[in-house]
Amino acid sequence: MFTAKDHPMITAEYKRYLSSKFNIALFLCMTACALLSVIASLREHAAWREQLLAPAEDLNVPFATEIVNGFNGISLIFDFFMSDAWSIFVLVLLGGFGVIIGGVTWKNLHGGFGNLLVVRTTYRNYLTNLLIAQAAYIATIIAAFFLLFTVIAVTLYPPDLAYEIYSGYFGGMSLYEFILYGMFQYFILLMFIIPTMLITSLITIAVKNRFLIQAVPILLYIVPHLIGSTIGNISKIFARITMLFTSEHFLRLPSVLFTQSWPALEIIPMAVTLPALLIIIALILYRRNLKIYKGAYL
């Protein structure tokens, strides 16, 4: 049960994360990923324009013209979500958040700071407040970057709101559709990043090395991919099963829904399986933490 005195604890922890000296480095790395995608998009756009200047006989001129004329800041954003830079971006988030908040529970446990907090409240409230602050911090950082990226992109390359604001290989997109698409992409990313980071914070009951704890987010991203690339190649059945637990497919779900026509029986399991598994693991670790430390924190 939360009381009014719990909220200052959440706020204080939240501000601690926002004031971390590593935030600048994290933002720079996130920006570098976006720039890689933007540069690739601009080069591709220039290549299409050159083809229109001297069109080949087999060039679909109306299609190429539509792509060139439909290019704007929204194109840069959509291309980013579809690019290889998006996978690097997710790894940057996991690594950055792993450094900033991954070792906090370990540090509090072994540094004595946790004792000072638990003296003023219950261990349940301390742990819950900590996890809420971490989730709020993650959501804030990602939202701030997406908002900044969008503002810069549409300022440099403004779309014509009177028409479809995106026109590319996969059809067009209205402003309303883009807003829904962006919100869904943001939600999907949070549904992977936040449970992964909560697992990292709660895994101190099993992992005692701080640096290994901070590497847990990267491992949770890479290991399923390695398993999927080996077991998944055995047969189509194994490929479909491993796909459900691979973050790459889950994180690209909004783009899949926009660009392809997949049956609901395939979309729903892909949308639910991975986040449900991560949340269940986090809940199990949460309950184990409460059971182990409810009597004495150290």
Residue 263 pLDDT level (bands cut at 50, 70, 90): low
User: Does residue 25 fall inside a structural domain?
Assistant: yes
Average pLDDT over residues 94-112: 84
Residue 247 is encoded by which pair of tokens?
């973050």
Please determine, for residue 297, whether its predicted confidence score (pLDDT) is greater than 80: no
Helix, strand or coil, per DSSP, at residue 167: strand
Please determine, for residue 200, whether its predicted confidence score (pLDDT) is greater than 80: yes
Burial 68-79 (b: 16+ CB within 10 A, else e): eebbbbbbbbbb
Please determine, for residue 4, whether its predicted confidence score (pLDDT) is greater than 50: no
**pLDDT number for residue 221:** 92
User: Does residue 288 fall inside a structural domain?
Assistant: yes
User: Does residue 33 fall inside a structural domain?
Assistant: yes
Please determine, for residue 140, whether its predicted confidence score (pLDDT) is greater than 80: yes
C-beta separation of 243 from 249 below 8 A: yes
Please determine, for residue 50, whether its predicted confidence score (pLDDT) is greater than 60: yes
Average pLDDT, the chain: 83
Please determine, for residue 126, whether its predicted confidence score (pLDDT) is greater than 70: yes
Alpha-carbon 104 to chain mean position? 20
Residue 104 pLDDT level (bands cut at 50, 70, 90): confident
**β-strand partners of 61:** none
Residue 1 pLDDT level (bands cut at 50, 70, 90): very low
User: Does residue 89 fall inside a structural domain?
Assistant: yes
Residue 2 pLDDT level (bands cut at 50, 70, 90): very low
C-beta separation of 252 from 78 below 8 A: no
**pLDDT number for residue 108:** 77
Domain that holds residue 210: 6-293
49 to 42, 75, 180, 201: CA distances (angstroms): 11, 15, 30, 50
DSSP type of residue 19: T
- 204-254 pLDDT per residue, tens: 888 888 899 999 999 999 988 888 777 766 767 777 777 778 888 889 888
Number of structural domains the chain divides into: 1
What is the spatial distance between Cα 228 and Cα 87, in angstroms, rounded to a whole number? 16
Please determine, for residue 281, whether its predicted confidence score (pLDDT) is greater than 60: yes
User: Does residue 298 fall inside a structural domain?
Assistant: no
First vs last Cα of the chain: how many Å apart?
23
User: Does residue 282 fall inside a structural domain?
Assistant: yes
Instruction: Tell me the percentage of the chain whose pLDDT exceeds 90.
Output: 38
**β-strand partners of 171:** 168
From the list 7, 156, 163, the residue with the least C-alpha distance to 77 is 156
Highest mean pLDDT among 137-146, 199-208, 245-254: 137-146
User: Does residue 257 fall inside a structural domain?
Assistant: yes
Average pLDDT over residues 171-196: 87
What is the spatial distance between Cα 259 and Cα 185, in angstroms, rounded to a whole number? 14
- 111-123 pLDDT per residue, tens: 665 556 556 667 7
